[in-house]
Every structure is written in structure tokens, then in C-alpha cells.
Chain A
Amino acid sequence: MDSLYFPQTERSPLLELDFAKRRMRIEGESYPENAAAFFGPVLKSLAHYLASPAQDGSSSQFLVDLRMAYFNSSSAKALMNIFQLLESAARRGVRIQINWYYHPDDETMMEFGEDFGEDFERARFSLCVLGEDGE
């Protein structure tokens, strides 16, 4: 399956879906003119990938790194849809690790991380505080 890569723009995040490396990352700000148009193809590819037979064994794994700085409510809905796909894949036996990175001073992103984290039972969701150098 082909990987997806969208570079960061003024209003949309960097988004990479790398199936060869079994990882996904989303970074930056997200308030695109049309969240459904931006996230639609990503959701479709991810759903297709996670449902494919190669991912069905318990040995399979998938890593997700998120470094969001801001997102609007339509993007929040899209992120939730992505998380729901990941959680259901985890319930089928895929080992899912999600890292939610946030700056220690960023109350909003910390709170979103805590909120999102409560929805996972089978997928592993970790809150990761970024250092001064952004790592």
C-alpha cells in the first residue's frame, strides 16, 4: 500500500502515514478550510491498512506520534475518528502505541491529551512532555 505524505502548510499539519515503517505522525496546527477533505483520504487509507490481513496477527504493530500545537473542532472530530480506528484495530490484536507530545506550558494540548487518552482500552496511549529543545 502506498504511503501518504502531506507537508505542513499554514493551516494543515504535517501528516505522514508510512506503511513500510508501520507508523504515522501528525505535527503542527490544523484548521483546514475543509477538514473532511483533508482527513478523509487519511482515514480511508488507515482503515484499509489496519483491516488488511497482514495486520491481523498479534505480532503486528503500529506507532503513532502526535505533536499538535492547535486544532479546531472539525479537526478534533477527525482525530477522534482516527483514534477510534486505532482502538478497534487494537481490539483485534494489533499492537498500537500512540504518543501524544505536548509542550509543558501548553494547557490546551495537555488537556486534549488527557481527554483522548481516557478513550483507549487496548491501544497504548502515552502522554509525552516535550523538552525545551522540542524533543
Chain B
Amino acid sequence: MSIADEHFDFQQRMQAQGVIFSFVGYLSEGILFSLGESLREKMRLDATDANVAKRVFSIFVEQVQNIIRYSAERLEPGPPAELSSGMVTVGRDQTHFFVVCGNLVGRTEGRELERRLRELAEMDKASIKTYYREKLREPGPLESRGANIGLIEIARRSSRPIEFGFAEASQDRAFFCLKAYI
């Protein structure tokens, strides 16, 4: 297969799945901003309902910031210049937008994430809203970086329960994946 055939095949498969864009590699705040801008522009051009577009954008930002802050594979130890490895795909199927993110996590962090996501999965919309407000009110420094609330924000803006899972990556790491529908 020629490189053109190979990549055309790849491009066609992505398109068939409704992918608007997909990024694999080191994510940074700069990339988050640029991808976010083109996502918003795309939704504007498609005359997407403004409230839906806002929810898609919001979920996209929370997911990518989670990768930037918590991916176990990164080039810089911390801010201001964080480059964290992961992947993000935004697309649209027949009825819904979707945002999928993936990144490596340590075993301990993975277990904690799973516990929190299972907890969220059992809540209905009203409970998620109450839980969000409780977390927001909890005293705590801004340095905690808000991620506890990030997952709740994703659950709150999603129109279906969040899908998530883990795949074995190595002895001490797992690949974490999260998919939200809007």
C-alpha cells in the first residue's frame, strides 16, 4: 500500500466515524486554545445550536485540561510549560457530538479515577448538580487546580452517562479513556 493509500484509508475511516478532528501527541495549553477555536468556528459554520456548542466546548476544555494536568507521560514536571502526552478526538455521529480523550495514568491515580467515575455514573442529573455545588463550596486552595470539579462538569454537560475504561499499558501504568456525548 502506498503512503497515500494508507493515509487516505486512515482519513476515510476517521471521516466515516464522524471525526471533526483528532489529535495524538503532546498536548499543551496553546494546542488546547487553537483546537478549541477551530472547534467553535466549525460549529458556528454548521449553525450548531449555541447551547449545544457551548456544552461541547466546555467538555472539550475540561477533558484536555485533565490530560495536560494529569497525564502520567509528560515532558515538563509542571507549569508554566506543560507538555503532556495524550489524545483527543471530537466528532459527531447521527445524533450527538462526542469528545473522547485518552492518556496514561499511574495505577493508584487510575484506581482513584475509576472510583470517582463510578460514583458519578450512579448519579442522576439532579444529584450531579447538587454534588457539583457541594464540591464548589468546599474550602480549598485554587492550587488544587479544580480537576475534582472538571469530571463533574463533564458529567453535568453530557447528555448521556460518561463512558470510560482502562487498558493495561505496563506494569505500573494504564491507558485511561473517557467518552462524553453531547
A contact set with B: CB distance below 8 Å? 10-11, 31, 33-36, 39-40, 43, 70, 72-78, 80-81, 84, 105-108, 115, 118-119
Contact A77 B146 (CB under 8 A): yes
Contact B142 A81 (CB under 8 A): yes
- Least CB separation from A72: chain B residue: B61
Select one of A31, A33, A118 contacting B80, CB under 8 A.
A33
Contact A77 B136 (CB under 8 A): yes
Residues of chain A within 8 A (CB-CB) of B79 are 33-34
Contact A106 B149 (CB under 8 A): no
| Closest beta carbon of chain A to B98's beta carbon, Å | 19
19 A/B residue pairs, CB under 8 Å, sorted by A: A10-B33, A11-B33, A36-B143, A39-B142, A40-B142, A70-B54, A70-B57, A72-B58, A73-B62, A73-B147, A73-B153, A74-B65, A74-B149, A84-B139, A106-B50, A108-B51, A115-B129, A118-B133, A119-B133
CA distance A86 to B145 in the complex (A): 22
Residues of chain A within 8 A (CB-CB) of B136 are 76-77, 80
With A34-B80, A105-B51, A115-B133 as given contacts, are A78 and B61 in contact (CB-CB < 8 Å)?
no
B contact set with A: CB distance below 8 Å? 29, 33, 50-51, 54-55, 57-58, 61-62, 65, 79-80, 129, 133, 136-137, 139-143, 145-147, 149-150, 152-153, 157
| Closest beta carbon of chain B to A80's beta carbon, Å | 5
